[in-house]
Structure 1
Amino acid sequence: MDIIVKKFEPSLNAAAVAIWNEVVEEGMAFPQTETLDHPSGLAFFSEQSFTGVAVDQESGQAVGLYILHPNNVGRCGHICNASYAVKSGLRGQHIGETLVRHCMEAAKDLGFRVLQFNAVVRTNAPALALYRRLGFVQLGIIPGGFRRKDGRYEDIIPHYHVL
């Protein structure tokens, strides 16, 4: 699979909404509980500082995405936050790594100095391994910081990377 990351455009909205909603409905990674529809997805992805969509160049199919935005405002506005989603049947093929690496460059280009993840769920072993491999620093553990779809609570592990 030959993946490129494109800047979000309205023609990618249906695919981006489907990928995003898949992760939300799984209830294992994103804090969101509400899914997006076409209009809310278009607004959501367009309002980010940057939304990148991973596209397989051979098939033209969107296979993942990320959103990038400030983590805070004012004196902490130089710290950004991001979320990543990869189509479930394609996970484990380094699409997430491509997204994170692209995101880090996009964040630098936008003038951010630090990329921070507020809520990496402790049971998300692939994400934790990727962030460790890319040099992210683990900040600690917040016990029970994430409520899974089934109502159980999982620990979250914030991370950061100086850009």
Structure 2
Amino acid sequence: MPIRPATPTDAPAIAAIILPVIQAGETYALDPAMTEAAALAYWLGEDKRTFVFEEEGEILGTYYLRANQAGGGDHVANAGYMTGAAARGRGLARAMALHSFDEARARGFVAMQFNFVVGANVAAVHLWTALGFATVGRVPGAFRHPRLGAVDALVMHRPL
């Protein structure tokens, strides 16, 4: 499988994927003005295990895996996924999700929870639903979408 743990030398390729997504401000509750250094510090943080999807020497996508909460909530995983614009629609997000489920189980997690899925991110909601996630909560108008205005944020969960 072309998914492997990220290394420090992957940082420029990861930045090239995550910065445009963050700057677009449509799918992640991150500051669109975030610097490259801050974005990489977030994505590669010590609380996360970060992976890349590499094909023929090119990094096309990335995801991180972490505990959703500390202490009594550390048995539930959380993850974030981004695919480079040129590689979208090729099944990379699905492949990374399935890989993350295996990684999470191997690390002792029993479930995965996404705390803030932008409801207007139709592709993500469709994928997570197809992969067995249930919407267990909806926060009305919680996300300021740059084109659509206030949209709902979903809390999604699935057992591993």
TM normalised by structure 2 equals: 0.90
Supply the RMSD in Å over aligned alpha carbons: 1.9
Shift of 1:131: 1.0
Distance change in 2, residues 1:37/1:134 (3 Å) = same
Distance change in 2, residues 1:138/1:42 (3 Å) = closer
2:66 is matched with: 69
1:32 is matched with: 30
Conservation of the 8 A alpha-carbon contact between 1:50 and 1:106: no
Shift of 1:115: 0.6
Moved more, 44-53 or 112-121: 44-53
1:101 is matched with: 98
Distance 1:120 1:8 in 2: 24
Shift of 1:156: 1.1
Residue 10 in 1 paired to residue 34 in 2? Answer: no
Shift of 1:46: 4.9
| SS in structure 2 of the partner of residue 130 of structure 1 | helix
2:119 is matched with: 122
Tell me, which stretches of 5 or more residues in structure 1 are unaligned? none
Moved more, 38-47 or 72-81: 38-47
Distance change in 2, residues 1:32/1:39 (3 Å) = closer
Conservation of the 8 A alpha-carbon contact between 1:114 and 1:160: yes
> Which stretches of structure 1, 4 residues or longer, exceed 6 Å deviation after superposition?
none
Shift of 1:149: 3.5
Conservation of the 8 A alpha-carbon contact between 1:13 and 1:38: no
Shift of 1:48: 3.7
TM normalised by structure 1 equals: 0.88
Aligned AA (2:153): I
| SS in structure 2 of the partner of residue 75 of structure 1 | helix
Shift of 1:145: 1.2
Shift of 1:43: 7.2
**1:103-154: CA deviation from partner (whole Å, max 9, x where unpaired):** 1111111111111001111111111111111111111321111122358211
Residue 136 in 1 paired to residue 126 in 2? Answer: no
Shift of 1:42: 5.7
